[in-house]
Amino acid sequence: MDELELLKKDWKKQEKNLPHIEANEIYPILLKKSSSIVKWIFFISLGELALGAFLNVFLADHEFWKQVENIHLKNTVIVMYIFGYAITILFVLLFYKRYKAISTTDSAYQLMKNILKTRKIVKYYIFYVLASSGIVAFVTFIFTLLYSSDFENVRDEINWPKAIGFGLLLIIVFIVILWLIYSLVYGILLKKLYRNYKELKRLEL
């Protein structure tokens, strides 16, 4: 075998090793970035939980509960609070579990799986917030029309199809605004997380 063939063979050997060298250098960076992103997701969800607790405890005064009782929703609101807190705490724990899983992972394949799981959980969380907010708003709207003293004199004159349609329109606008906020807050983090996933996949670790 002449020298040229030896050089070609040697180059091919080096070429095969190049992606692995690149991957070994990039993987710790992607791991650190992914862990940091999921940590921020965890902190934001924790902040949401704290803010919700603050609003419910300090702003839901006697007048609020009096109005809720007047429209026959007091027990329902209490149940919704308990259920809402339970679900939110569950998601916070899931985000923390994803953060620990990504932080301690020791393989690229497992890291990619954890990234996909994290994205899926965040999307479920956003869907839960939007759906529950829409349902609560609609139920409150209907019971307000039915039982609030503010509508006592005009209740018999209410055009229910139009009223419900108007209420649904307002709720849809509210949900869209809420979705835009969540898309801005969580969407940026999810895009960064997905870029890390695509980079890992590109390296084919």
The confidence score (pLDDT) of residue 18 equals 47
pTM listed for this prediction:
0.83
pLDDT one-digit tens code per residue, 168-185: 999 999 999 999 999 999
- The count of domains in the chain is 1
Confidence of residue 6 (pLDDT cuts 50, 70, 90): low
**176 domain residue, yes or no:** yes
Inter-residue contact 26 to 205 (CB < 8 Å): no
- Written as six digits, the tokens of 173 are 């606008």
**For residues 57-74, average pLDDT:** 85
**Mean pLDDT estimate for the chain:** 85
**For residues 128-133, average pLDDT:** 94
**5 domain residue, yes or no:** no
pLDDT one-digit tens code per residue, 73-115: 989 999 998 999 999 999 999 999 999 999 888 788 888 999 9
**184 domain residue, yes or no:** yes
Angle between helices 3-54 and 160-203 (to 10 degrees): 150
Eight-state DSSP code of residue 51: H
**97 domain residue, yes or no:** yes
Query: Rounded to whole angstroms, what are the CA distances from 54 to 40, 48, 57, 61?
Result: 21, 10, 5, 12
Domain that holds residue 177: 10-203
**CA max distance for the chain:** 103
